[in-house]
Amino acid sequence: MNIIFDLDGTLINSSSGILKAIELAFKSCEVDMQLPLNNELVGPPLTELLVMLSGASDEVLISELAAAFKSSYDTEGYKETSIFDGVEDMLKSLKQQGFNLFIATNKRMLPTQKILEFFNWSDLFDGVYALDVCKEASNKSDLISYVLKQHELDVHHSVYIGDTVPDKTAALANGLKFVMVSWGYEFQIEDGEEYVTSSSELLRYLNRINSLN
């Protein structure tokens, strides 16, 4: 069975480092933020996030903010990332059982790789895909589609795990089963929708649906 994970808000909590780097970037560029900083801001692509926070569309300004953010986050900020409870044990168990594990994230590839190396997770995944380096993708839906095609994954034997409504939308657009985790940044469900409240519950759920395939 193939499991594609979102990263931020699903496997890791990187909000502290991201929010701090954003604050430093706006201060260094002397730009006022139009929205208060909170965990719900973690997740969208960097450029989209900076446009939202600055209320500006000036490409030069956004580039300056992005450069300032990267200078802070890619050197020190990513180290403030923490792992959600039980996630590492869950990933190792899934890997040992023969599940194929992938990441499809809006996070840029450089900090994604640094975080995986920081936690010694690189060998756990069969493929890691980030929106900023995938020329074939302009959004999460495209990115998931690219992962499916690259590895010739059967959608009927694959699932996407995420923490936001856009994650769900992207999964369903590709015909994938989606599971929402409750511990992320944007937990919203409709009546009857499936979700899990712990990594141990997610592990049991994945083993159960795998046994049915």
Tell me the pLDDT tens digit for each residue of 64-105.
999 999 999 999 999 999 999 999 999 999 999 999 999 999
Task: Give the model's confidence band at 211: pLDDT under 50 very low, under 70 low, under 90 confident, else very high.
Answer: confident
User: What is the rounded CA–CA span in Å between residue 29 and residue 51?
Assistant: 14
Can you give the pLDDT at residue 151? Answer: 97
State phi, psi for 43 to the nearest 5 degrees: 140, -50
Task: Give the model's confidence band at 40: pLDDT under 50 very low, under 70 low, under 90 confident, else very high.
Answer: confident
Indicate if the pLDDT at residue 50 is higher than 90: yes
Q: What b/e string do you get for 47-60 counting C-beta neighbours within 10 Å, with b at 16 or more?
A: eebbbebbeeeeee
Task: Give the model's confidence band at 189: pLDDT under 50 very low, under 70 low, under 90 confident, else very high.
Answer: confident
101 Cβ contact partners less than 8 Å away, ≥ 6 residues apart: 3, 5, 91, 94, 95, 124, 125, 126
For 36, what's the count of Cα atoms within 13 Å in the CB-facing half-sphere?
Answer: 2
User: What is the rounded CA–CA span in Å between residue 210 and residue 213?
Assistant: 5
Which tokens sit at 180? 């929402």
DSSP per position, 7-21: -BTTTEE-HHHHHHH
Least confident of 140-144, 150-154, 156-160, 190-194: 190-194
Question: What domains can you pick out in the chain, each with its CATH number?
Answer: 2-13+81-212 (3.40.50.1000), 15-79 (1.10.150)
Indicate if the pLDDT at residue 191 is higher than 70: no
Mean pLDDT, the chain, integer: 93
The terminus-to-terminus CA distance of the chain in angstroms comes to 8
pTM assigned to the model: 0.90
Query: Can you name the residues that pair with 2 across neighbouring β-strands?
Result: 100, 158
User: What is the rounded CA–CA span in Å between residue 117 and residue 193?
Assistant: 34
Tell me the pLDDT tens digit for each residue of 155-187.
999 999 999 999 999 999 999 999 999 998 877
23 vs 57, residue with greater confidence: 23
Indicate if the pLDDT at residue 12 is higher than 90: yes
Rounded to an integer, the average pLDDT of 127-141 is: 94
Can you give the pLDDT at residue 9? Answer: 93
Identity of the residue numbered 136: E
Q: Which residue has the tokens 């369903």?
A: 172
Q: What percent of the chain has pLDDT over 70?
A: 99
Indicate if the pLDDT at residue 198 is higher than 90: yes
Task: Give the model's confidence band at 4: pLDDT under 50 very low, under 70 low, under 90 confident, else very high.
Answer: very high
As a 3-state breakdown, the chain gives helix, strand, coil percent values, each rounded to 5, of 50, 15, 35
Can you give the pLDDT at residue 25? Answer: 94
